[in-house]
Structure 1
Amino acid sequence: MTTQQFSLIDQAIHFALSKIELQLSRQPDFPHITEGGKWVYTKDGVWTGGFWAGSLWLAYSETKDEKFRVAAESFTERLLERAGDDRNHDLGFMFYPSAVYGWRIAGHEEYVRAAVKAAQSLAGQFNPAGNFIPGWGFFGGHDWSGSVLVDTLMNLPLLVWASENGGDPHLLEVAVAHATTAIRHHLRDDGSVYHVFKFDATSGAPIEGDTYQGLSAESAWSRGQGWAVAGLAMLAGMTGRTDFLEAAKRAASFVESKLASDPIPPWDYDAVGPDVPRDSSAGAITAFGLVRLATVTGEKRYLQLARSLLEALSTRCLSSEDQESVLAHATADLPHGLGIDESTAYGDYYFLKALLAFRDVDSRATR
């Protein structure tokens, strides 16, 4: 990597850390998404609280500044009582960046106990008839018992980790079963993914692909594509399963074909036109997944695409001085009018996570 490229990544890391430090002096709840560049907060973290706690753990890991550790512990501990949620497919998002990563850094055993309990709560929602964990059990007053979200792939690493850290070995079986179902039904022939796939909740029989946040049932919602790349790459690395690895490579190849002309993803890869909103959070998540895929495969093409994404995000999507986030120009949920050209807690987290991972992997590759 050239000095200029290294400097750009390093500067983006410094910028992200400075924005996280500024956030510590603001409202003492969990940042969720922004409105007009200012954070909207939640007291219990809804499904995004783990990303703020995770950002603080990343900041402490990078700087060893005690104020980040104190804050990270405080926000992680506030999430621990959510470990028993029994209608929540996002427990991996909540507990992997916070409790699991915090345990690795600080060694708090109560984090292990809570993360294993959260994994058991996640696995407890498993539908054995269809071999899936349904999505959004608590969301919007709808019946989601037969709907499976591609996002759930990123929650499965919690199950794999827990099966190796005091949890029931059955947790791994649930993770493998759900991922296999997702590969069979979410992943299309061209490597794109359905956001939602519907099943009969009683028999488990597959019904049809659908979307909730994408352009249409048959389109490729870019953040969902990022969840697929990252989730499958993580699962492939954690389990060693070649079917997961091949699925991750197919999903990544689709992204590669779509970002050839512009590395910042549109909110949906099938949305066209000069005024189509971008989704920097999809770019950050995808970049993280590509770095993980490069680590598993040793193929430089994935690292090169991750670098292209991270450099574009670092030059075109960093927030301004009057915006409170790290990464601007995200699209949280366009069909429902939420967070359009704003910022998200998960975008900020995966941007810093991807930057740090890229720096470390690339520095090893160029020694």
Structure 2
Amino acid sequence: MKKLIMLIIALLITLSSRIYSQSIIDIVGEQLIKKDKIFDGRFPLYTENGKWKLSDKPNWFAGFTAGELWYMYDMTGNEEYKVRALRHSDILIKYATLDNTHDLGFIFYNSCVKAYQHTGEIKYRDAAIKAAYMLAKRLNEKGNFIRAWGRLGTDDREGLMIIDTMMNLELLFWAAKETGDYTLYDIAYKHAITCMNENVRKDYSSYHVIEFNPKTGEVIKKRTHQGFGDETTWARGQAWGIYGFAIAYKYTQDERFLNISKKMADYFISKLPADNVPYWDLSLTDSDALKDASAGAIAASGMFLISELTSLKSDYKKYLSEALQIIKSLKDSYLFTKSIRAAEEGILIHTVYHFHNKWGVDESYPAGDFYFIECLKKEYDYNKAEYFIEKTDQRKNI
């Protein structure tokens, strides 16, 4: 009898958890449709007093809305999400030859690659592969790094490498496998090695920017662009490293990348305040410092990936637990439903896009929304695997 009561209690807890998760998915989905209607084919930048600032030109955020819609479609099967995601992907196809940014992975992996995976339509594959080759052209062979900014053929910031680029490598890895052209793989691998050697400090914190002499490949300076200071650790940059090196390990099986990812995650975790959501720079300790919920979402998603990739049960439990704790805090306190402002058009609030330029400070911006929804999807998949019992004989014994 006691076992039966305990089983019933466990089932009720599971059911309430799943109902709660579903309600979050529904609430977020409604807000996503609302904001997509506001965008109306334009590209979001960040919110200001809760309202979106928009651009007619694509930026590094341009693929995130499509990615959010794909995740919602995967969780719900609602065709409206798919229709809207394809609309975004169609808009982006003509921008596959952008030659002034390393962010082609952010833009095209989350839109056109996902569109191709969902539909099999060759136009999306072609656009993503074209974008991958444009990204490959940004390799500086002297320094073995992918140039972050500046138009190709110019000397505009041609010696700068940033840790963010680790997240764009997935487009190269995917395109290498898709085309059989493993020069794309080699370029991604070389960049990851350089980033590991130059951006990651001995204590596994990170520099945001590495400045090279583009003619010789020698390092001139290590500094920040968006962090508090050159020797501090920008929270989102550390999160890019956690996630990006885990991705690099996924495609290469180079154990160094997984080890770096875990060590960077450990550093990130050690700097978290009580609510498990980081200050915008990990070196800040004043409780009045602004939080960056987007860095929390990115890091949590990266820790989910670590837990999937590791062969150690202890690491699986550790990084999964940390990811779930961060996600719980984001859902409980950093969702737009918690805002007291008259307008709140984003999804994840209390994020910091660019502190120094005063862009999206304590606001919402597309990367925050995307990685939060990605975390919801990963939590959804985890719960589904945890609670759905496949075998008939096991179901009969409940």
TM-score, normalization: structure 1? 0.95
* 1:39/1:324 contact within 8 Å kept: yes
Could you tell me which residue of structure 1 aligns to residue 348 of structure 2?
327
Q: How large is the RMSD of aligned CA atoms in angstroms?
A: 2.0
2:38 alignment partner, SS class: coil
* 2:113/2:124 contact within 8 Å kept: yes
* Partner amino acid, structure 1, of 2:306: L
Could you tell me which residue of structure 1 aligns to residue 280 of structure 2?
267
* 1:8/1:314 contact within 8 Å kept: no
The structural deviation recorded for 1:262 is 3.2
Of the three residues 26, 46, 58, the one matched with 2:38 is 26
Could you tell me which residue of structure 2 aligns to residue 124 of structure 1?
137
* 1:198/1:208 contact within 8 Å kept: yes
Runs of 4+ in 1 over 6 A off after TM superposition: none
CA distance in 2, matches of 1:260, 1:328: 17
- Is the aligned partner of 1:238 residue 2:251? yes
Could you tell me which residue of structure 1 aligns to residue 199 of structure 2?
186
CA distance in 1, matches of 2:124, 2:165: 22
1:155 alignment partner, SS class: helix
CA distance in 2, matches of 1:306, 1:12: 17
Could you tell me which residue of structure 2 aligns to residue 304 of structure 1?
321
Of the three residues 127, 131, 141, the one matched with 1:114 is 127
Could you tell me which residue of structure 1 aligns to residue 4 of structure 2?
none
2:345 alignment partner, SS class: coil
- Is the aligned partner of 1:13 residue 2:25? yes
Evaluate the alpha carbon distance shift between residue 70 and residue 185 of structure 1 in structure 2; reply closer, same or farther with a 3 A threshold.
same
CA distance in 2, matches of 1:27, 1:245: 38
CA distance in 1, matches of 2:113, 2:381: 20
Percent identical among aligned pairs is 35
CA distance in 1, matches of 2:29, 2:59: 24
The structural deviation recorded for 1:10 is 3.8
Query: Which one has a bigger Cα radius of gyration?
Result: 2
Evaluate the alpha carbon distance shift between residue 55 and residue 174 of structure 1 in structure 2; reply closer, same or farther with a 3 A threshold.
same
The structural deviation recorded for 1:167 is 5.5
* 1:153/1:179 contact within 8 Å kept: yes
Could you tell me which residue of structure 1 aligns to residue 333 of structure 2?
316
CA distance in 2, matches of 1:142, 1:124: 15
Evaluate the alpha carbon distance shift between residue 222 and residue 63 of structure 1 in structure 2; reply closer, same or farther with a 3 A threshold.
same
Q: Report Cα offsets for 1:297-316 as digits up to 9, x if no partner.
A: 15111010001110000011
1:225 alignment partner, SS class: helix
The structural deviation recorded for 1:260 is 5.7
> Which has the higher mean CA deviation after the structures are superposed, 130-139 or 233-242?
130-139
1:24 alignment partner, SS class: helix
Could you tell me which residue of structure 1 aligns to residue 118 of structure 2?
105
CA distance in 1, matches of 2:155, 2:59: 17
CA distance in 2, matches of 1:105, 1:251: 33
Could you tell me which residue of structure 2 aligns to residue 223 of structure 1?
236
- Is the aligned partner of 1:169 residue 2:182? yes
CA distance in 2, matches of 1:287, 1:138: 33
CA distance in 1, matches of 2:51, 2:24: 20
Aligned length: 366
Q: Report Cα offsets for 1:124-147 as digits up to 9, x if no partner.
A: 1100100001112259x9932111
Could you tell me which residue of structure 1 aligns to residue 267 of structure 2?
254
The structural deviation recorded for 1:62 is 2.0
The structural deviation recorded for 1:26 is 2.1
Q: Report Cα offsets for 1:283-308 as digits up to 9, x if no partner.
A: 11111101111100151110100011
Instruction: State how 1:352-367 maps to structure 2 within 5 Å.
Output: 352-365=373-386
Q: Larger relative CO (CA 8 A, sep 6+): 1 or 2?
A: 1
| Structure 2, unaligned runs of 5 or more | 1-9, 390-398
Instruction: State how 1:81-96 maps to structure 2 within 5 Å.
Output: 81-96=94-109
| Structure 1, unaligned runs of 5 or more | none
* Partner amino acid, structure 2, of 1:63: T
CA distance in 1, matches of 2:132, 2:180: 8
CA distance in 1, matches of 2:95, 2:320: 36
* 2:242/2:265 contact within 8 Å kept: yes
TM-score, normalization: structure 2? 0.87
CA distance in 1, matches of 2:196, 2:39: 41
